Amino acid sequence: MQGLTRYGFRQAASGFFEFPTENARRILPSHIEPVELHHGSSIFSLTAFDFSESMVGPYGEVVMSVIVSPLVKPGKPLPKSAFYPYLVATTTRAAREHAIERWHLPHWMADVEITFTDGERDVTARVRADGEPVAEMTIGDYEWHPVSHLYQSFMHDADGTYLASITMEGEHSEHEEETGRLKLFEHPFNKQLTLSEVSEVPFREMWMRKGLQTFEPLVQLETA
């Protein structure tokens, strides 16, 4: 039986951006419900990882997600929030094949370039695919505290719907100062988003450093 799977990271920068619920619903399977920040306004998140340790070595990863309703069960720990990653891209083929096989995550099927540029109090993640820019996101810091937070990730493919419980540990900064920025470029990578309707300013910026991402074994869900 598969045990816990761990990924050590140097940093993970994440921005939460408002986008129309109707766009979220176009991305999500019908049985997964988007969270609404306001009526009609859901949440797109982009997370860029710089993994330093894993079963497939160091690599970079970008995760494009919709924030969704977590699955709550009596007696089980309550997650901080839940994601539906609709597109994942990695800098190495080994990382991509590992994640597809183990986590059923939908991937961009070619290596991408991900660079992190540290500012005085911010980090900028740039993603390029096929030699063209895809996304550029700047996330700022606030105060740093060690945390251990539980998240849920839903995945869906032809074989079924899956749930991964993920614990993120490490130094953590989170704020809603609206100081960050996102630029998404016209590119097939971003085809599921109506770019003009994705906010360029994150309402929430999360940044983790020197951390550990731990996946519990994948659970297949029964869906109608």
Partner 1 sequence: MEAAQKKDEVGKSSFSDYDYSNFYYGAGDDPLNLLVPFAEWYAEARPNGYYLYQEPVQSAPTTRVRVKNNKTGAVQELINLASYNYLGISYRDEVKQAAIEAVQRYGLGASGSPILSGTFDVHDELSRAVARFKDKEACVLFPTGYSANVGFISAMMRSGDTIFCDQYSHASIVDGAILAKSKTVFFRHNNPMDLERKLTGVRGKKMVVVEGVYSMDGDICVLPEIVEVAKRHGARILIDEAHSTFLFGPNGRGVAEHFGLDKEVDFHLGTFSKSLGGQGGFVCGSKKLTDYVNAFGRSRFFSCNLAPPVAAGLVAGLRIVDDEPQLRAKLWSNVAFLRRRFAEEGVDIGKSNSQVMPVMVNNDAKVFAVAEKVQDRGLFLQPVTYPAVPKHKSRLRISVSAAHSEEELETAVQVIAGVLREEGLCKA
Nearest alpha-carbon partner for 136 in 213, 65, 202, 91? 202
Looking at the Cβ atoms of 64 and 150, the one nearer to partner 1 is 150
* Among 174, 180, 193, 215, interactor with partner 1 by CB under 8 A: 174
* Among 104, 126, 156, 204, interactor with partner 1 by CB under 8 A: 204
Range 59-78, binding partner 1 (CB under 8 A) = 68-75, 77-78
Q: What stretch of H or E contains 139?
A: strand 132-140
Identify which range of 32-40, 87-95, 105-113, 120-128 contacts partner 1 by CB under 8 A.
32-40
Nearest alpha-carbon partner for 151 in 195, 95, 211? 211
* Among 130, 157, 176, 186, interactor with partner 1 by CB under 8 A: 176
What's the CA gap between 105 and 95, in Å, rounded?
Answer: 11
Identify which range of 95-103, 111-119, 129-137, 140-148 contacts partner 1 by CB under 8 A.
140-148
What's the CA gap between 82 and 127, in Å, rounded?
Answer: 24
Work out whether 42 is an interface residue with partner 1 (CB under 8 A). Answer: no
Is 218 in contact with 102 (CB distance < 8 Å)? yes
Instruction: Identify the residue whose tokens are 């990730």.
Output: 153
What's the CA gap between 219 and 189, in Å, rounded?
Answer: 28
Work out whether 106 is an interface residue with partner 1 (CB under 8 A). Answer: no
* Among 111, 122, 136, 169, interactor with partner 1 by CB under 8 A: 169
What's the CA gap between 15 and 47, in Å, rounded?
Answer: 7
Least distance from partner 1 to the Cβ atom of residue 156, Å:
13
* Among 102, 106, 128, 142, interactor with partner 1 by CB under 8 A: 142
Burial 206-220 (b: 16+ CB within 10 A, else e): bbbbebebbbbebee
Using CB under 8 A as the criterion, which residues of the chain lie in contact with partner 1 when the complex forms?
4, 6, 8, 18, 32-33, 35, 38-41, 52-53, 68-75, 77-78, 80-82, 142, 147-150, 165, 167, 169, 174-177, 201, 203-204, 211-212, 214, 216
